[in-house]
Amino acid sequence: MYKRMEVLCLGALMATLALTGAPPRAPERALAFRCMPCPALPKMAVDMTVDSTGCLWVVDRAGGKIVVLNSEGKFVRAISSPGSGPGQLSDPLALALNESLNLLAVCNSTAALDFFEASSGRFKSTLVLPGPYEAFTGFFVTPSRIVYCGSGRESAPRTNGPFRALSLFSTSMEGRGLRIERSFQANAEEAVGLMLFGHGFAIPFKKDVWAIGRSLPAQVLLVDDEGRVLRESRAQGIQPRWPLAKLSEPGWTTRIKQETPHAVGLIKDKDKIGLVWVHPPKPGPIMSIGWFRSDLTPGGTTPISLEAVPGKIAGVYSLAQAPSGRVYLLASSTQDSGDKVSHLYVANLP
């Protein structure tokens, strides 16, 4: 069905990442994250953001809702409910909050966006992208545009031929005026890589300027409110690719995510932007921050340490930073029973 390509072995992948500038495991003092007790945290929390008051907005994928927690992790309220009716959420994956517009947007696995009034939780509307384009997770909302910074694609490839992958594009708030800022030709094996490492993330950097990043190939870009690129860093890593059949192997998806260095989020420290990496489990920090100056030249590396929790860390899903500079990290662990449990970590930048 798909054109077969030779599988890139893990050793070659690691070597390529090293050659293309993946952050080194530096010996500097680590940024220490502690696990915050949070009984209200959903069992399958997959994305989050922080508002101007320090409250966390968390995507509950299994529960089909958005859970709002205060800065200490205590329950405040919930928005929406599971289902396929108007205002209900079916398999939510990511969210974006624009307080100036009083708008909460939630993306689900069918690439539809559900809009809610942020203050009340009232459902407003649903937007499905026009034409054959599909959006992956990773987007933010400006006063005039919805900017998609995770990799998307034209309609799923059904032949052995290449297809067009989109890594940065935007539409109006009504889904019109599609503008593609970054795209590339991809094949079936690269489609698997997009599914696993095509995530995008964004943080406000300066007035009317956003910093956006991608998981792999890892890169930081500065864009304006219209989603137009102002500056970009050198890409780190390669476009990952694996045969489609790998997805059906038990445990393969979890294993490859643990074994492959990839970026998971962005943070800001004054005029520097930090690209947060997850490394394969072996001696050394499991995570690190690769810093960039405002001109997106490299600015050093900081290791990250995570407080130990019962079970084994299975994945890091999201980071969010409060106006105070406090950084939250969302991860999950696999218990001895095989169940996955979400954990909320917190750290303060020095």
pLDDT band at 16 (very low <50, low <70, confident <90, very high): very low
The pLDDT assigned to 26 comes to 40
pLDDT band at 311 (very low <50, low <70, confident <90, very high): confident
Structure tokens at 284: 């050394």
pLDDT band at 155 (very low <50, low <70, confident <90, very high): low
The pLDDT assigned to 184 comes to 84
pLDDT band at 337 (very low <50, low <70, confident <90, very high): confident
Neighbours of 10 (CB within 10 A): 13
pLDDT in tens, 60-111: 999 999 999 999 999 999 999 999 999 999 999 999 999 999 999 999 877 7
Q: How many CA atoms lie within 13 A of 169 on its CB side?
A: 24
Q: 């993306």: which residue's tokens?
A: 107
The pLDDT assigned to 136 comes to 61
Q: How many CA atoms lie within 13 A of 173 on its CB side?
A: 13
pLDDT at 3 over 70: no
pLDDT in tens, 33-51: 999 999 999 999 999 999 9
Higher pLDDT, 111 or 181: 181
The pLDDT assigned to 222 comes to 98
pLDDT band at 334 (very low <50, low <70, confident <90, very high): confident
Provide the 3-class DSSP secondary structure of residue 15: helix
The pLDDT assigned to 335 comes to 85
Provide the 3-class DSSP secondary structure of residue 100: helix
pLDDT (average), residues 255-270 = 91
pLDDT (average), residues 186-205 = 87
The pLDDT assigned to 42 comes to 95
Neighbours of 5 (CB within 10 A): 13
* Helical segments of the chain, H only: 10-19, 188-197, 252-259
Averaged pLDDT score across all residues of the chain? 85
3-class SS letters over 235-265: CECCCCCCCHHHHHCCCHHHHHHHHCCEEEE
Q: Which of 4-18, 196-210, 252-266 has the lowest mean pLDDT?
A: 4-18
Q: How many CA atoms lie within 13 A of 333 on its CB side?
A: 15
pLDDT band at 17 (very low <50, low <70, confident <90, very high): very low
pLDDT band at 285 (very low <50, low <70, confident <90, very high): low
pLDDT in tens, 113-149: 999 999 999 999 999 876 555 556 789 999 999 999 9
The pLDDT assigned to 8 comes to 28
What are residue 191's phi and psi, to 5 degrees?
A: -60, -35
Domains and CATH numbers, the chain: 24-348 (2.120.10.30)
The pLDDT assigned to 211 comes to 98
Neighbours of 337 (CB within 10 A): 8
Higher pLDDT, 273 or 15: 273
Q: What pTM did the predictor assign?
A: 0.87
DSSP 8-state class, residue 150? S
Structure tokens at 235: 């890409």
